[in-house]
Amino acid sequence: MPARQRSLLVKNIKVLATFNQEHGDIEDAAIYVEGPEIKWVGKSSSLPGHYQSADQVLDLSHCVAIPGLVNSHHHMFQTLTRCMAQDQKLFGWLKSCYPGWQHMTAQDYTAACRMAMAELILTGCTTSVDHHYFFPNDVRMDQGIQAARDLGLRFHAARGAMSKGQSKGGIPPDHVVETEADILADMERLIKEYHDNSRYSMTRLACGPVAQKGADDECFVKCAHLARQHEGVRLHTHLAENQEDVDYTMKNYGHRFTEYIRKIEWDREDCWFAHCCKLNHEEYTDLSARGIGVAHCPSSNMRLASGICPVRSMLDAGVNVGLGIDGSASNDSGHMMAEARLACFLQRAGGDPNGMSAREALRLGIQGGAKNLGRTDVGAIAPGMAADFVAWRTDTFGFAGAQHDLVAALIWCTPSIGTVHASIINGQVVVEDGKLQTGDLGQIVKDLNAASARILKHFP
């Protein structure tokens, strides 16, 4: 007989926004979980008798709860170098950071991942990508995967790659790039060792050459061929991030991005692209027709003066749009709810108050990201879905005066709502009473600051 799965009952939730069409919003709600799976959702008063006891019971009487946020673009190692190159655009910012980043070790990368993941979890994220493309010294993707397992974060490891250094017309220095053979061999190793395409899996892999300015066409093509040999392995890269990207693509290829992604065979629905600020109507309409998603990173795009992604137009054209943190050194935060708020407000800044609603912004941060990652088991609270949900206390100053719409308050009042009161990931209580249960936050911060201090000594 299979082993009995541990059960969890979460009850008396003040307001639960399920993001499921059948269940909608529920007041005084309860969720019953067995193992990684939600078994029942409804009013606490309607809880069936056989679900009224559980191995663990949480009372969320003063909370608003939603499905966990999904971060579909991040570079966690950059948590080491926040607030650097403050007045640079993308290409100059990268060139300023490479000299310091090349001194990163496995211990540093681990510290950065643990800090980035703790920050994500405490601010409402339950699933995240790490698009890691920088492998100096003894740094390996395995270290990020282990950090996610330790902290309990659902994790998509996008094994990045840089194969085109400055001598070949790329942006990275030659001494920090890898050979194509080494890149492909390590990607295949990671897929075989860690990729789990089963429902509720906690670790999946993606292949992610960094961008056309850091990886050559052959590398992109071979990564696509490798990924498509393994079910559920997806493809991720940067695209059309700013005007420098447009100019680089036109200069080196003689055409824009629709032709480019066809040439490298990244024109299928197993791809999602970060940023896309400078795609034109024809290009994002093409993405829609091909089922390709976008990870919108509003804070980073503003910080690096890259532009404003035309998210409203993309959504109206049928493009799936999720949200991403991007680099913690180009954001310089790891707060997914803040990204949702900025995404909402940027689409209104042009003068249309209907540019994006609070609910739509949350949907981008939850279901848009889940679809980018190919997940059908996260993104809603309903029977059969993964038990990934988060809750904030509403009897705090952040929600004062907003009790009439606690779900919208998550967006409108983001700066003052604070960290989550509870986070459940894969049926496990990862945050309880506002405290991280899977790691010592004080030690995580201490380790990160020690690593950061050493790395920053090497910056110009």
Last residue of a domain, one of 372, 392, 422: 372
Check whether residue 75 and residue 122 sit in a common domain.
yes
Residue 443 covered by a domain: no
Same domain, 76 and 54: no
Q: Which residues contact 374 (CB under 8 A, 6 or more apart)?
A: 232, 234, 270
pLDDT of residue 1: 56
Give the H/E segment covering residue 361: helix 358-363
Beta-carbon-side half-sphere exposure of residue 73 (alpha carbons within 13 Å): 36
Q: Is residue 457 part of a domain?
A: no
CB 187 within 8 A of CB 207: yes
Is 33 a domain residue? yes
Q: Do residues 44 and 157 share a domain? A: no
In angstroms, the CA 365 to CA 68 distance is 9
- Say whether both 37 and 168 belong to one domain: no
Rounded CA gap, 286 and 386, in Å? 32
Question: Has residue 452 been placed in a domain?
Answer: no
Question: Is the torsion defined by CA of 265, 269, 270, 275 positive or negative?
Answer: positive
Q: CB-based contacts of 187: which residues, under 8 Å, 6+ apart? A: 159, 161, 205, 207, 223, 226
* Shared domain check, 164 and 221: yes
- 52 and 96 share one domain: no
Q: Is residue 441 included in any domain, yes or no?
A: no
pLDDT of residue 298: 98
Domain assignment present for residue 244? The answer is: yes
Task: Pull the structure tokens for residue 12.
Answer: 């008396």
Domain around 160: 69-372
Return the CATH number at 97: 3.20.20.140
Question: How many domains would you assign to the chain?
Answer: 2
**Sites in the chain below the pLDDT cut of 70:** 1-2
In tens, the pLDDT along 287-296 reads 999 999 999 9
Domain end marker among 317, 344, 372: 372
What DSSP designation does 53 have?
A: -
Whether residue 384 sits in one domain with residue 366: no
Domain boundary among the residues 355, 372, 389 is at: 372
Structural domain contains residue 233: yes
Residue 427 belongs to a domain with what CATH number?
2.30.40.10
Is residue 128, in this structure, part of any structural domain at all? yes
Q: How far is CA 165 from the centre of its chain?
A: 27
Which residues are CB-contacts of 117 (< 8 A; sequence separation ≥ 6)?
76, 128, 147, 148, 151, 153
Q: What's the pLDDT at 3?
A: 72
- 163 and 287 in a single domain? The answer is yes
Same domain for 264 and 399, yes or no, is: no
Alpha helices in 39-155 (DSSP H): 90-101, 106-122, 141-151
Residue 370 in tokens: 């889940």
State the CB neighbour count (10 A cutoff) for residue 449.
13
Check whether residue 174 and residue 204 sit in a common domain. yes
DSSP string over 159-184? EEE----GGGT-SS-GGG---HHHHH
Give residue 328's pLDDT. Answer: 87
In a shared domain, residues 182 and 221: yes
240 shares its domain with 127: yes
Q: What's the pTM value of the predicted model, to 2 decimals?
A: 0.97
Structure tokens at 375: 């997940």
